[in-house]
Amino acid sequence: MRHFRLAFCALLALSLGGCQAIVLSPPGSIAADQRDLLVQSTGLMLLIIVPVMALTIFFAWRYRESNKAATYQPDWDHSTQLELVIWGAPLLIIICLGALTWMGTHLLDPYRPLNRNAPNEAAAASSAPPLEIEVVALDWKWLFIYPQYGIATVNEMAAPVDRPITFRITASSVMNSFYIPALAGQIYAMPGMETRLHAVMNQAGTYQGFSANYSGAGFSGMHFAFRSLDAAGFDGWVNNVRNGSETLDRMRYLELEKPSENVPVVTFGKVDPALYEAILNLCAQPGKMCRNQMTAIDAKGGLGLAGINNLLPLQYDKYARRGTAFGPMPTAVASICDKPSDGLKGDAEASPPATAPAAPLPSTQLRGAGLDRTADPAGHLNLLDIFAPVPAPDKRPSNS
């Protein structure tokens, strides 16, 4: 039996030897600094924890019932020297731990731009500008947009070694958590909000990224590959993506946004340059008013009770406004610059030719708050609803 236990322990040790403790040995500069902060903080805490655990065992053994040689002092109640040790040592540890944590959290602020390409190495003035990547957490996959190159990918990301990366992160549906252990710590992705992360990878290789926040049925499949490449390898990767035939416009994005699980890698050779801002402002649906337009209206005083029917569809529920809770037709407050007749048509289909004169807005589209929407076949409410003339009630006394 003893030999069986030894063999089992040896087998277990061999199996664990194949694991990579990437969190404790990350190749990314920011992740390495976070590792150092974790190790240093743990070491400071162990200065108290280890002696306490050791003394617990010592006193239990020293004052066991069978040890008649142990000194018994029932009247002892105070020692100034002992009190100084008991309170002074933890206080010093807390002061050191607080200073270390304060400095570390400010230096490792994810919104703080990097001033280095590698550990202990300042960023060269002639080096390439930071790589910008726009990250969108979808159900249940990751969308990466490269605005500097006009490309996008799903469930695969690449970056050159020793080049700082600037992430802009948001979500389409529920809150997620963007995490590449080899690169930097996790940061949340939330709909209608943007978080940022600055990081740099200092070693070539392929690393795993995933969602660290449960987000539904397909959560377990929200994994992606992060490829850290040299400059030539990254340029080749970009060219391969550019050669793809697919274009990521708003209509294609709305298809991609639908929940799906275990999605393979997809590449887009062209991307609508305004797509990320539309996703961030919750108006990827063509013709819908964007959040920043809504906030501009709110800053001017809002719409009040008279505009309640215009405001109801503004709540963040993309499934409801696309034809469930408000009836069979899609419902959304139209963009400020869009015509009500644009509906859900694509930009190319909705926009008239450049040479064609702008058609006057039909008077049937000017509706007061609370009236039916039958005048607009697309079911959209237009900003003109706000300014539509509503006849004042006749307050003259009646003859009856």
pLDDT in tens, 347-373: 434 444 444 444 544 444 444 444 344
- The answer to whether 365 touches 382, Cβ cutoff 8 Å, is yes
- Alpha-helix residue ranges (DSSP H) falling in the chain: 2-17, 29-62, 80-107, 231-242, 250-257, 275-280, 291-299, 308-311, 318-321, 347-350, 384-387
- Alpha-helix residue ranges (DSSP H) falling in 332-383: 347-350
More confident residue, 388 or 310: 310
What's the pLDDT band for 206 if we cut at 50, 70, 90?
very high
Residue 156 has pLDDT above 60, yes or no: yes
List, for residues 248-264, the tens digit of each pLDDT value. Answer: 999 999 999 999 999 99
- The answer to whether 148 touches 134, Cβ cutoff 8 Å, is no
| Domain 127-280 grouped into CATH 2.60.40.420 | yes
More confident residue, 210 or 75: 210
Rg of the chain over Cα atoms, rounded to whole angstroms, equals: 31
List, for residues 389-398, the tens digit of each pLDDT value. Answer: 434 444 444 4
Residue 63 has pLDDT above 90, yes or no: no
Candidate from 10-24, 108-122, 125-139, 218-232 with smallest mean pLDDT: 10-24
User: Quick one: pLDDT at residue 5?
Assistant: 67
Domain boundaries, the chain: 23-59+88-108, 127-280, 291-349+364-387
- The answer to whether 293 touches 280, Cβ cutoff 8 Å, is no
Which among 352, 62, 28 is positioned nearest to 185, based on CA atoms?
Answer: 28
Residue 62, CA atoms < 13 Å, CB-side half-sphere: 9
Q: Which two tokens stand for residue 223?
A: 């994994």
CA angle 223, 194, 249 (to 5 degrees): 70
User: Quick one: pLDDT at residue 198?
Assistant: 94
User: Quick one: pLDDT at residue 150?
Assistant: 94
Output the average pLDDT for the chain: 78
Residue 163 has pLDDT above 60, yes or no: yes
pTM over 0.75: no
- The answer to whether 378 touches 326, Cβ cutoff 8 Å, is no
Location of structure tokens 């000194």: 71
